[in-house]
Structure 1
Amino acid sequence: MSLQTAFSEATETYQIPRLIRLAPNLYAACFTLMKMIPARFILRRAEEQGVLGPDTVIVETTSGTFGLALAMQGVHMNRRVVLVSDPVIDERLYRRLVDLGAVVDRVPAAAGAVPGGYQAARLARLAEVKAEHESTFCPEQYSNPDNPRSYAMVAELLLECLGQVDCVVGPVGSGGSMCGTVGNLRTVLPECRAIGVDTHHSVLFGHADGHRELRGLGMSLMPANLDHRIFDQVHWCSASAAYAATRQLHQQHALFMGPSGGAAYLAARWWAAANPSALTVVMLPDEGYRYQDTVYDDGWLRNAGHLDSSLPAEPVQVQDPSRPEGSWTAFDWGRRSYAEVMAGRLDVAQAAR
């Protein structure tokens, strides 16, 4: 075995989740770095297709673990990586990206106050970065269909290990992991339910764009890879509730995961308890090491006003997905398109006048 082959296999292991049983009918798919799945799949397909040449620079807009996966792949594929990110990127992540040789280009802090926020500013800067280099390849995680397509391997693993899967619960950002996993599962299990977990002031499922403390899920711009028709139900979780659930997941199950996974766990635990005859899988995208100074620090939680937050027993069921009410709310999306749900909301509002 060559050294290069050993490196390739090392990154490949990051894609494979551990399946942990949390309750009689609830399993967690625990990833070390879930974003390695689309990053590795997209880059290697691009190389095979000849659009990622030896001197091509990999460029992308990201403030999270997709950038980390790209930087790791850049090392193994011997490619330069330039990442356009937020000024509020996690400092631990930033140091790791730089140590891997990636260039991290942070947009100005003032960009967060304009329409579209940091994500719009990052896209504009990304276009400039592309123009600065002779040859670039952008994975375009928000619109590249290879993102959801890459999660076929997760669906295959769940089917092989669990057989029947009645419900998948997971955080939603680019839309790739949930849409890809559930879409592939439904080719075998068409009744499999999907519960997407978002946060308040994210545009993905009807809220108006605004400040979001909770990272790792939610968006300011609508990604093309998000197929709303996948989802049976949507939950919105506040930062306080997500942090409390993340700590509870660690304290009760010794699973050291990030807060987007904590938010998903909150919704999954509730749904599994309410449906004891159904087997539920919750997607936990990354581990908690980047959050040791925040979510896992009682002093930080206390200063931020999160330490004494109690977890609600169940979500508040809402009839209007555009209203960010309470710390944990849920809406029956019903596998409808965004336009269908929003049109229905307008019809109800007009009838009430």
Structure 2
Amino acid sequence: MDHHVSEAIARPDLIDLGGGLACLRFESMKVASALAAVRHLLESGVVRPGDTLMDSSSGIYAYGLALAAHRYGLRCHIIGSTTIDHPLRLQLAVLGATLEQMPPSDDLGLDQNRRVQRVREVLREHPEYHWMRQYHDVIHGLGYRAVAEQIRKDVGEEPLTLVGGVGSGASTGALARYLREGDPATPLVGVQPFGSVTFASDHVTDPQIIIAGIGSSIPFGNVDHTLYDTLHWTGFDAALAGSVDLLRRHAIFAGLSTGAAYLVARWEARTGRRRVVFVSADTGHRYVDSVFARHEEARPVADLSPREIDDPAGLKPPWCRMDWDRRPAPEQAVHREG
């Protein structure tokens, strides 16, 4: 029996979709990350009950950190993206977390840079706050060991390919590390939006979209580029098609980054050599108006295919694929402290 709802939310469901596809479905993925990270900080004495945890978030990490703080008797302060919606704002308030939300913006870079600047201002005002550094601290990968063990328990020794949004690198990166303890050859396929610095698509814009959870305009310290075998970059139209098809075909109501991962996983599963597990990070509720209300616009996923490239300089919407081959980070994606 669980002792707090966060423990139940941290466990995903693994759903067999047929055709060599499986969906690793989280209600809110970052709960697993935040819960394990906070538990580690308490056990190591870095923080104590009553302390204040702070971080920047585009949405689901804010919820995860608020739940972890509630579970362990800590305070929580969030510097929030413009993408945080009304239902989440209300949940954070009732859970006792405080939220500073950035003003409306369609510019991912401006939104993230504003949040980083405000984090540093708050730390100067409150040096006693503990900055969780979800984009840089490796402790955020700890919660995915249990998830990897759950996957292996469900599928046995069957060879797998893992597909998911890159984001801070904590989720897909950590899952790949833990899965590779049993099978070092496990391929990791990362999904990125156009406009993200992480895998050098920052020179390409997609004005319709901010997939804030899987891309970034700033370098992330958690991303280990040498873990990724393949990269896909998807635009809004391609991700929308994936989200709508996933709901229509498999009845899974999930976010826009999941739609992109599903589209990519379908493509990678064509060879049939490995079962492809793709990560579904959250539900589709905050995408009702921006995505699902436009379901009639969605193109059939069978009509979509990626443009194969051998260098990020060749990136072009709506969808590109590249063999990354576990190479190091591009220069603009290297995180430097300070």
TM-score w.r.t. length of structure 2: 0.90
Structure 1 residue 23 corresponds to structure 2 residue 21? no
Q: Once the 2 structures are TM-superposed, how far is the Cα of residue 20 of structure 1 from its aligned partner?
A: 0.7
Q: Once the 2 structures are TM-superposed, how far is the Cα of residue 79 of structure 1 from its aligned partner?
A: 1.9
Q: Once the 2 structures are TM-superposed, how far is the Cα of residue 37 of structure 1 from its aligned partner?
A: 1.0
Q: Supply the AA of the counterpart residue of 1:195.
A: V
Distance 1:308 1:42, change over 3 A: closer
Q: Once the 2 structures are TM-superposed, how far is the Cα of residue 70 of structure 1 from its aligned partner?
A: 0.9
Structure 1 residue 188 corresponds to structure 2 residue 187? no
Q: Once the 2 structures are TM-superposed, how far is the Cα of residue 285 of structure 1 from its aligned partner?
A: 0.9
Deviations 1:55-100 (A, max 9, x none): 3111101121000111122222222211012234323322322232
Q: Which residue of 2 aligns with 1:349?
A: none
User: Aligned pair count?
Assistant: 328
Structure 1 residue 225 corresponds to structure 2 residue 222? yes
CA distance in structure 2 between the aligned counterparts of 1:277 and 1:244, rounded to whole angstroms? 25
Q: Supply the AA of the counterpart residue of 2:118.
A: R
Q: Which residue of 2 aligns with 1:147?
A: 140
Residue correspondence of structure 1 range 68-107 to structure 2 within 5 A? 68-107=63-102
Q: Once the 2 structures are TM-superposed, how far is the Cα of residue 112 of structure 1 from its aligned partner?
A: 4.9
Deviations 1:126-153 (A, max 9, x none): 1221233352112211111111233111
CA distance in structure 1 between the aligned counterparts of 2:332 and 2:163, rounded to whole angstroms? 20
Q: Contact (CA 8 Å) 1:179, 1:226: kept in 2 or not?
A: yes
Q: Which residue of 2 aligns with 1:329?
A: 320
CA distance in structure 2 between the aligned counterparts of 1:148 and 1:63, rounded to whole angstroms? 18
Q: Once the 2 structures are TM-superposed, how far is the Cα of residue 25 of structure 1 from its aligned partner?
A: 1.5
Distance 1:308 1:251, change over 3 A: closer
CA distance in structure 1 between the aligned counterparts of 2:117 and 2:194, rounded to whole angstroms? 25
Q: Contact (CA 8 Å) 1:97, 1:104: kept in 2 or not?
A: yes
Q: Which residue of 1 aligns with 2:202?
A: 208
Structure 1 residue 242 corresponds to structure 2 residue 235? no
Q: Once the 2 structures are TM-superposed, how far is the Cα of residue 219 of structure 1 from its aligned partner?
A: 0.6
CA distance in structure 2 between the aligned counterparts of 1:109 and 1:259, rounded to whole angstroms? 19
Q: Which residue of 2 aligns with 1:158?
A: 151
Structure 1 residue 293 corresponds to structure 2 residue 289? yes
Distance 1:222 1:340, change over 3 A: closer
Q: Once the 2 structures are TM-superposed, how far is the Cα of residue 316 of structure 1 from its aligned partner?
A: 0.9
Q: Supply the AA of the counterpart residue of 2:329.
A: Y
CA distance in structure 1 between the aligned counterparts of 2:331 and 2:116, rounded to whole angstroms? 28
Structure 1 residue 284 corresponds to structure 2 residue 294? no
CA distance in structure 1 between the aligned counterparts of 2:240 and 2:143, rounded to whole angstroms? 29
Q: Supply the AA of the counterpart residue of 2:43.
A: E
Q: Contact (CA 8 Å) 1:166, 1:191: kept in 2 or not?
A: no
Please say which structure displays the higher CA radius of gyration: 1
Q: Contact (CA 8 Å) 1:215, 1:260: kept in 2 or not?
A: no
Q: Once the 2 structures are TM-superposed, how far is the Cα of residue 120 of structure 1 from its aligned partner?
A: 2.1
TM-score w.r.t. length of structure 1: 0.86
Q: Contact (CA 8 Å) 1:63, 1:86: kept in 2 or not?
A: yes
Q: Supply the AA of the counterpart residue of 2:267.
A: W
CA distance in structure 2 between the aligned counterparts of 1:322 and 1:310, rounded to whole angstroms? 28
- SS in structure 2 at match of 1:219: coil
Structure 1 residue 67 corresponds to structure 2 residue 58? no
Q: Once the 2 structures are TM-superposed, how far is the Cα of residue 340 of structure 1 from its aligned partner?
A: 9.0
Q: Which residue of 2 aligns with 1:34?
A: 29
Q: Which residue of 1 aligns with 2:172?
A: 178
Q: Supply the AA of the counterpart residue of 2:273.
A: S
Structure 1 residue 128 corresponds to structure 2 residue 121? yes
- SS in structure 2 at match of 1:16: coil
Q: Supply the AA of the counterpart residue of 1:144.
A: D
Q: Which residue of 1 aligns with 2:336?
A: none
Distance 1:131 1:317, change over 3 A: same
Q: Contact (CA 8 Å) 2:59, 2:83: kept in 1 or not?
A: no
Could you tell me the percent identity over the aligned residues? Answer: 31
* Superposition RMSD in Å: 2.3
Deviations 1:232-280 (A, max 9, x none): 11001111111121011011101111111110000001111x2113111
